[in-house]
Amino acid sequence: MAEAPQPVRGTRDLIGEDQRRFAHVVDTARAVCGLYGFDEWQTPVFEETRVFSRTLGETSDVVTKEMYSFADRGGDSITLRPEGTAAICRALVSNGLTQSLPQKIFYAGPMFRYERPQKGRYRQFHQIGAELIGPAEPLADAEVIALGRDILAALGIADATVLELNTLGDLESRGAWREALIGYFREVAEGLSEESRARLERNPLRILDSKAASDQALVANAPRIDGYLTATAQAHWDGVRRGLDQFGVAYRVNPGIVRGLDYYSHTAFEFVTTSLGAQGTVLAGGRYDGLVAEMGGPPTPAIGWAGGIERLAMLLSSAPAQPAPVAVVPMGEASQAAAIGVLQSLRAAGLRAEQSWRGNLKRRMERANRIGAGWAVILGEDELSRGMAQVKRLATGEQAELALDRIAAYIAAQDH
């Protein structure tokens, strides 16, 4: 026999409890985003490579080593999307929506990065995301962060995370800070990882996001943005924190939060948990005022975040269980047609209902227990001749004889 194919490294199948957790994260996020007035968008899973290559930053991890890029059969360079924000901005511009602001967008779907797979880190992973495009006000930053917090709260995991907050300032602040960082890291360059040394002149901010242990101590003593904020950047930063207080969102200022992609300015934040080891960031984002313009649109302020569905799903204590089904048990050929009628009436009443395909009463009752049925509807020939069936509550053994057309209403009423 041929060797059976396995899933590709870094990908996984979602089955049973895994899929229920996954769907619960997406459903909850979609519902809470709806409460904030966000509409869902879907963009393609692949884009022209340039949608990502320039905008995410030529020295970012994603662009330098993580993108799934290939030439398609027509010779065009295509990339499986590594993240959602650049694609949403591309869609905003392509669909002529840059004058219809604000746009409040929710999305959910697969992303692709060629990373070293480990717990909470995959090559095909999935994100939920929210983007608020248009407002430049710091209160918009606070509201988008509050939205993230409310999703974590609705999932029951807000207490398992801490919000870490930072500002990257505006272009002018960042320019001055960047020079200071280059000066500092040059002095200590010998202690830096090879990767960080290579980034020193091109993008020293990336060093602050380095995961290399040897860089950590040097990063801790690096100049902080605080000293370089312009008055405008300072006012925005103050406004965001005031807004968070008004929304009742707790945070911790962490000057080390710089985010892995280049398009961020002003606000940067991460909801972090300690319970997933090195893969502790579950939902993260920031302001990206320059991105829509880089995509060929007019200068357009925007703020958003993305959450890793796999990591959020791992934090859930459990997935919401499926309701216990009703098992419909026909006894013999003659009752099969009536069984289908009962099954369909149960489903029409919103009840989960199943029948098994073969076997005697004993076998079928065993199966009803195996699938965790709450009720069995037993269709015996005798009762059927009178238009009735036995309805049994499996947990207690209580049994009642009911007319076929009353069964669904009876069970629905008792179940609630």
Binding positions for ligand ATP, rule: CB under 6 A:
83, 113, 115, 120-122, 125, 127, 260, 279, 281-282, 284, 306, 308, 310-311
Rank residues 196 and 281 by Cβ distance to ligand ATP and give the closer one.
281
Q: How far is the CB of 309 from ligand ATP (least distance, A)?
A: 8
300 is in an annotated binding site: no
Tokens describing residue 382: 């005798």
Tell me the torsion sign for CA atoms 210, 45, 301, 202.
Answer: positive
CB of 79 to ligand ATP, least distance (A): 15
Residue nearest to ligand ATP (CB): 308
Residues 140/130, Cβ–Cβ less than 8 Å: no
Rounded to the nearest whole angstrom, what is the least distance from the CB of residue 283 to ligand ATP in the complex? 6
Tell me the two tokens of residue 86: 């650049």
Nearer to ligand ATP by C-beta: 272 or 376? 272
* Token pair in block for residue 109: 């779907």
Contact assessment for residue 68 and residue 102, using Cβ atoms and an 8 Å cutoff? no
Residue owning tokens 């993108």: 67
- Going by their DSSP bridges, the two strands 68-71 and 162-167 should be labelled as unpaired
In whole angstroms, the minimum distance from the beta carbon of 125 to ligand ATP comes to 3
> Strand pairing partners for 389?
402
Q: Is 137 annotated among the ligand-binding residues?
A: no
Nearer to ligand ATP, 267 or 390 (CB): 267
Strand pairing category for 265-272 and 77-80: unpaired
Closer by beta carbon to ligand ATP, 234 or else 279: 279
Nearest distance from C-beta of residue 312 to ligand ATP, angstroms: 7
CA distance 87 to 174: 25
The annotation status of 264 as a binding-site residue, yes or no, is: yes
Neighbour count for residue 385 (Cβ, 10 Å): 9
Are the C-beta atoms of 239 and 181 separated by less than 8 Å? no
For ligand ATP, which is the closer residue by CB, 264 or 375? 264
At its nearest, how many Å lie between ligand ATP and the CB of residue 32?
17
Output the six-digit token pair for 395.
């947990």
The span from the CA of 305 to the CA of 83, in Å, is 11
Print the SS3 string covering 88-125: HHHHHHHCCCCCCCCEEEEEEEEEECCCCCECCECCEE
- Least separation in angstroms between residue 315's CB and ligand ATP is 10
- Smallest separation, CB 284 to ligand ATP (Å): 4
Q: How many CA atoms lie within 13 A of 146 on its CB side?
A: 18
Exposure letters 60-70 (e unless 16+ CB within 10 A, then b)? bbbbeebbbee
Q: Which of 33, 62, 37 is nearest to 149 (CA)?
A: 33
Q: Which residue in 173, 141, 136, 119 sits closest to 308, CA to CA?
A: 119
DSSP state of 32: H
85 is in an annotated binding site: yes
Q: How far apart, in whole angstroms, are the C-alpha atoms of residue 85 and residue 93?
A: 13
* 259 labeled binding residue: yes
Q: Is 127 annotated as a binding residue?
A: yes
Q: Per the structure block, which two tokens stand in for 36?
A: 């904030």
CB of 259 to ligand ATP, least distance (A): 6
- 263: DSSP letter: T
* Residues 110, 123: Cα–Cα separation, whole Å: 10
Would the annotation count 131 as a binding residue? yes
Shortest distance in whole angstroms from residue 143 CB to ligand ATP: 19
- Which residue ranges make up the annotated binding site for L-histidine? 83-85, 113, 127, 131, 259, 263-264
- Which residue ranges make up the annotated binding site? 83-85, 113, 127, 131, 259, 263-264
